[in-house]
Structure 1
Amino acid sequence: MTDTPGWASPGSAPSSEGREPGASDPAEPADRPGDTAPAPQPDANAQGPGVKWTKEQPPPGQWSAPTGAPSPNQPPPPGPGWGGRPPTGPGPGGYAGPPPGHGGYAAWGGGWGGPPPAAKPGVIPLRPLGVGEILDGAVSTMRTYWRTVLGVSLAVALFTTTTLVVVQGYVLNNALAQVQLGSRDANPEDVYRALPDIMIGTGVVAVIAAVAVIIATALLTTITSRAVLGRPVNIAEAWRDARPQLPRLFGLILLLGLIVVGVMAAGVLPGILVVLAGGSAAAGAGLLALGLLGAGVLATWLVIRFCLATPALMLERQSIVKAMSRSAKLVRGSWWRTFGILLLTGLIVRIVQALVSIPFTVIGAAVSGDGINDLLGTGGGHPSWMSLIIQGVGALIGSTLTLPISAGVTVLLYIDQRIRREALDLELARAAGVQTPGTGTPGPVPGS
């Protein structure tokens, strides 16, 4: 039985009684040509020629009006563009066709329109997304909720950039001042003496940057997920939702980092062992290069395979292992597409950062005492404080603009994969308070 009385889906067969269950009899015509006396009552199932009107008509969609008298229930004749006979089955008004409000069928040609647009309560339509729609959704989130998004990214970028400038000014400059790395007079002993300070300073900056990016990713994931539903969120609400998952997120990032480091170490280990064992230097170098290449390929494959673990952990409240398993399941069969989208996003981010930072780098080199030498990296390896501050401002602006794009693309890619595999669009439509995608009326579209 169908949900709607009197309607059957196109192409469905009639019931065993010759009528769709729940269908009502069509109304008897007011004027019947040629009838001046009550008509006889033949068998209702008679379908032969010359049968006159009866009180009980055959099932809708299986009869035609008498010659010369068009029935009010008769469907309109096929117009231009109809590709052929429409599917059989009774419908509204006694003829076969799609239900009211349906977008029609493409195979019917120009007589019907295409499918209706998907509901779009937020920054993306609730259907499988293209690459452009994923990028546009990330930019629309930043543009529509700019106070919250830029507030988070600005705070993170300010903290990271300030730390970088301070560490580079106090630690790295002092270490690099002990040795002219770009000079022919550089002494290996000076290099080894400066190496611990350089590694410590670089490690401090990397750890602080990683912590800041993790927190920003957690907050921006929550904001983007709300933006998909068209619901604004402030920084306090985003922090309240993301805070319980932060320890697991730190553990996830640490585990993924250890996996990548382990893969790279395993790749270079054979070459190092050959060199340490006194083997041929050429053989050791070749084995080392081959190991790096293989390890790099494997590490890239693993990074893409687990790239959706962060949004899975944040939005599904999963554990670390289950989040990685969810990411592997969602990426399976779409590895190259995921890789291409993330690669394109990375290129766009790097281009934007370069366009923003290059002018500040040039200005910093111009106002510095070494001028063009600082810009080319031949000014002694320790730029002045003025140059560091100006370059830091450029890095701050670039990170503020690009961090929401990177995080937004990852979240929207996760949502897109779940829509394609798990029909998440239906759940999102219900959560947003709209009808089933494709039949409901889209709500207001923020940022469009």
Structure 2
Amino acid sequence: MNDSPGWASPGSAPSDGQETGIPKPSTPVDGNGPAGQWSPAQPPPGQWSPPSASGTGPGAPPPPPGWGGTPQGPGWGRAPMAAKPGVIPLRPLGVGEILDGAVSTMRTHWRTVLGISLTVSVIAEIVIILVQRYLLPEQKSVDPNATGAEALRQAADSAQSQLITSAPSTLIAMIATLVTTSVLTVVISRSVLGRGVTLPEAWSEARPRLLPLLGLTLLLSLMSAAIMAVGLLPGLALGGGAAGLALAFLGFIAACVVVLWLMIRFTLAAPALMLERQSVLTSLRRSAKLVKGNWWRTFGILALTYLLVIVLTLIITIPFGIIAVTLDSDGLSEFLSSSSADFGWPFLIVTGIGDVIISTLAYPFTAGVMALLYVDQRIRREALDLDLARAAGVPGYDTPRN
């Protein structure tokens, strides 16, 4: 057990339901008798709270159910609250706690979080704007009156043009995501322990893992592209007839399902690679092990996360888009009536500012959800909460596990 971002090596905790070596609470012992016997000196009935406290003592109404209240059912009632040295309680997390933990990290460590996300977002957006303005060819327009084979040809040319023009922006955004994810994962790992971290410290921790993280991202991208190609090739081999298009469509749907299943299965590979210092292939195996049996829960949390990001994107994009179009033309009427749009610097700058705001908020939120999902699964499978409590210095967790 150490204070590094990985907290503990994977082998230091039981896995897959094994809980050997987890400390058990000691048997109650008092100074006047053997273990398991209550002291003969019991407090008088009705005075479990100090007599000076308001609303206590004989004749006072019973306390509400819950912590410190009337026991519910057999045993001693509700279990004690879990320790919370940082942004999350050290126990299995609910969906709301994972989302709240990501937001709490942004709010608590806003200097470091917004510092890295804003810096990377601004640099990436400037590069994207310059590439779009000076390096990319103009997109091919589509004649709305074209029919038959000519319409299909124009649609194919337009799709190819859009793919070429969007590739540099996608590559730049991927690199920006890698940098922010690596640094923010370190910040979140410290925030779980209730510890702050400066931007230079987080960068120093994350920098050695950038190349493995890049390799992981490229491997997953190539895997997805290969699966999509396998799904589309049979239909494309049949030509442009109805049968070929139908087979290509079915192959596309099947490939999307397989890619989605694999991406959810490997979604915790990046946190494992960063926090456990694992290799690329080992991090993929770790993610598959942690997600096993919880695929649908992981999918639901990620779907909710990206839905919130989409809502945030729409809230920011729509007003910035309207302002950009208004500044760059004679108004919305010209934009709506124009068959092709050739926007200048005002449009690119205003929309770029909107994209920077979106990225600055979305990067740390999604990185936080990913990291806390990883922490939650390790708590559920490997009792990581004990190691986290010990690393955070929570009283009562000083004895290392065997």
Shorter-chain-normalised TM-score: which range? 0.7 to 0.9
2:205 equivalent in structure 1: 241
- For 2:49, the equivalent position in structure 1 comes to none
Of 227, 247, 250, 1:287 maps to 247
Unpaired stretches in structure 1, ≥5 consecutive residues: 10-21, 27-58, 63-70, 80-100, 438-448
Is 2:372 the partner of 1:412? yes
Bigger shift: residues 257-266 or 159-168: 159-168
Query: Which of 223, 232, 236 is equivalent to 1:272?
Result: 236
In the alignment, is residue 223 of structure 1 matched against residue 184 of structure 2? no
Question: Which position in structure 2 is the counterpart of 1:424?
Answer: 384
- Aligned pairs (5 A) from 1:166-205: 166-172=130-136, 174-176=137-139, 179-181=140-142, 183-184=144-145, 199-205=163-169
Alpha-carbon deviation of 1:184? 3.9
User: Distance in 2 between the 1:132 and 1:271 partners?
Assistant: 43
Matched with 2:90 is 126
Distance in 2 (alpha carbons) for counterparts of 1:122 and 1:380: 52
Please give the alpha-carbon distance, in whole angstroms, between the structure 1 residues aligned to 2:223 and 2:376. Answer: 27
Measure how far apart 1:405 and its partner are: 0.4
- Once the two structures are TM-superposed, the CA of residue 303 in structure 1 deviates from its matched residue by 0.2
Give the match for residue 399 of structure 1.
Answer: 359
Q: Can you list the C-alpha shifts for 1:138-170, whole angstroms capped at 9, x where unaligned?
A: 001001111110011111211222222222222
The offset of 1:283, in angstroms, is 1.6
Instruction: Give yes or no for contact 1:175–1:198 (8 Å, CA) kept in 2.
Output: no
Following superposition, the deviation at residue 306 of structure 1 comes to: 0.2
With over 3 angstroms needed to count, the CA separation of the structure-2 counterparts of 1:270 and 1:200, relative to structure 1, is closer
Which residue among 125, 132, 145 is the counterpart of 1:161? 125
Tell me, yes or no, if the aligned pair for 2:92 and 2:376 is still in contact at 8 Å: yes
List per-residue Cα deviations over 1:314-364 (Å, max 9, x = no partner): 000000000000000000000000000000000001111110121110011
**What displacement does 1:235 show?**
1.1
Contact 2:231 2:255 in 1 (8 A): yes
Deviation readout 1:187-216 (Å, 9 max, x if unpaired): 889988888775444222211111111011
Partner-residue secondary structure (3-state), 1:275: coil
2:18 maps to which residue?
none
Counterpart-to-counterpart distance in 2, 1:340 and 1:155? 31
CA distance, structure 1, for counterparts of residue 133 and residue 334 of structure 2? 14
* Cα displacement (A) at 1:384: 2.2
Q: TM-score, normalised by structure 1?
A: 0.71
Distance of 2:337 and 2:206 partners within structure 1: 41
The alpha-carbon distance between structure 1 residues 377 and 135, as it changes in their structure 2 partners (threshold 3 A), is farther
Which of 288, 292, 295 in structure 2 is aligned with 1:335?
295
Aligned partners of 1:365 and 1:374 also within 8 Å: no
**Paired residue secondary structure (1:175):** coil
Distance 2:300 2:157 in 1: 43
- Alignment match of 1:151 (pick from 102, 112, 115): 115
Contact conserved, 1:171 with 1:197, CA < 8 A, in 2? no
Is residue 2:268 matched to residue 1:308? Answer: yes
The change in CA–CA distance for 1:298 and 1:72 in structure 2 (over 3 A counts) is: closer
Distance 2:128 2:333 in 1: 21
2:324 aligned counterpart, secondary structure: helix
Alpha-carbon spacing, 1:61–1:146, altered in 2? closer, same or farther (3 Å)? closer
CA displacement at 1:180 relative to structure 2: 2.8
Query: Alignment partner for residue 280 of structure 2, among 320, 324, 333?
Result: 320
| Cα RMSD after superposing both structures | 3.3
2:138 aligned counterpart, secondary structure = helix
Aligned residues of 2:98 and 2:372 also touching (Cα < 8 A): yes
How big is each residue's C-alpha offset from its partner over 1:35-88, in whole Å with a ceiling of 9 and x where there is no partner?
xxxxxxxxxxxxxxxxxxxxxxxx7878xxxxxxxx982768999xxxxxxxxx
Aligned partner of 1:155: which letter?
T
Pair member with larger Rg:
1
In structure 2, distance between residues paired with 1:206 and 1:248: 20
CA contact (8 A) 1:309 1:327 kept: yes
SS of 2:238's partner is: helix
With over 3 angstroms needed to count, the CA separation of the structure-2 counterparts of 1:191 and 1:127, relative to structure 1, is closer
Match of 1:389 in 2: 349
What residue identity is the alignment partner of 1:238? A
Given that 2:329 and 2:335 are in contact with CA atoms closer than 8 Å, whether structure 1 keeps it comes out as: no
- Give CA deviations for 1:102-146 in whole Å, capped at 9, x if unaligned: 99975447xx55222111111111111100000000001001111
Tell me the equivalent position of 2:225: 261
Quote the offset at 1:282 in angstroms: 1.8
Q: Is the 8 A contact 1:153 1:399 kept in 2?
A: yes
TM-score norm. by structure 2 comes to 0.78
Per-residue displacement from partner, 1:394-425 (whole Å, max 9, x unpaired)?
A: 11111111111000000000000000000000
CA contact (8 A) 1:139 1:405 kept: yes
Rounded to whole Å, the distance in 2 between the matches of 1:104 and 1:415 is 33
Higher RCO (C-alpha 8 Å, min separation 6): 2
Q: How many residues align?
A: 351
CA, structure 1 residues 113+218, in 2 after alignment: closer, same or farther (shift >3 Å)? same
Task: Specify the SS of the correspondent of 2:278.
Answer: coil
SS for the counterpart of 1:203 is: helix
* Alpha-carbon distance, 1:307 to partner: 0.3
What does residue range 82-161 of structure 1 map to in structure 2 within 5 Å? 106-108=72-74, 112=76, 114-161=78-125
3-state DSSP of counterpart to 2:178: helix
Find the residue that maps to 1:143 and give its secondary structure: helix
Q: Per-residue deviation at 1:381?
A: 2.9
